Amino acid sequence: MEAREEDQSAKMDPPCSPSGCNPPEPPLSKNARKKLLKQQRYEAKKAEKKAQEKEQKKKDIERKRKEWEETLASVTEEERAKLIESRKSLRKERMGKRSEEKEKKIERLNRAKDCGQKIVIDLEFSDLMTPSEIHSLVQQIMYCYAVNGRCPSPGHLWLTGCNGEMETQLQRLPGFDKWIIEKEHRSYIDALQDHKENLVYLTADSETVLDDLDLKKIYIIGGLVDRNRWKGITMNKAQEQGIQTAKLPIGSYLKMSSSQVLTVNQVLEILLRYIETRDWKASFFQVVPQRKRCEAECNSDHAVDGKENGDRDDEQETKKTKCDEVSSSNHTTL
């Protein structure tokens, strides 16, 4: 009787086909586990420091409030009225400047829709990430939008494959519904199917070095915080889709001290800096944290891009390493 029930159960619950299941997550290596523990300790210290800074900010606000009240109490009625009026004028002036800056930012971002460099953040990897990794990526996207808004020549940003937990966490960001950015539930391959020949996935596994940015091209950054578990995933995806790939020419200008992987916001900022300066060396040195650099060398095979973007910016402890800049004449042409 029991054997019969087990047999029926097996028929009712057939094994999941490879195409219908997510691939099993590869086990972490010993080195990866050590890095993960180190990252967790860092994040705990970071949270503690943030709480201390918040408490100190509250104390500073309270101290300034008391100082203001004491100042008002120590002067005549006429002087008090002048101080209050002066403070109101300063506040009004600051609000006016903020409003003006906001209008200029909106104007720049709207103009970028017509003539800005198109840059896509591919969010189709959310099923391969833990909730904390998704949260980390959402923070990086928030930084992306902020730095793009401050840029004199912002890019035309796209978020594609925005679904599930990723979409839920993005919707929680204050003002996300008002962001001047393209938000797509569809994959970039579907949303931009008429421009497939111009799609370029940035991946360190590519043999093509990105010598210059082309306004006709649409550059894709892989949105994946994976602690280096899914190696080569973006290159494989691009090859399967039959789209172009390229890697940033960082190896021509500096050598990474440890991991060659940068966060999504760092890759985006490098692209934006290059759009502004047309100088790769200046762009890398302005964006790549010094703790991730060591002695620079020419003609290196190292490169970084947007693939497997771990939250590495904060992973490494500050390293006092000397970094010598090198000549920018050693480009590899596309």
**Active-site residue numbers?**
226
327's CB contacts (< 8 A; 6+ apart) are 298
Residue 115 CA to residue 107 CA, distance in Å, equals 12
The residue with tokens 């960082």 is 250
Which among 215, 220, 211 is positioned nearest to 280, based on CA atoms? 211
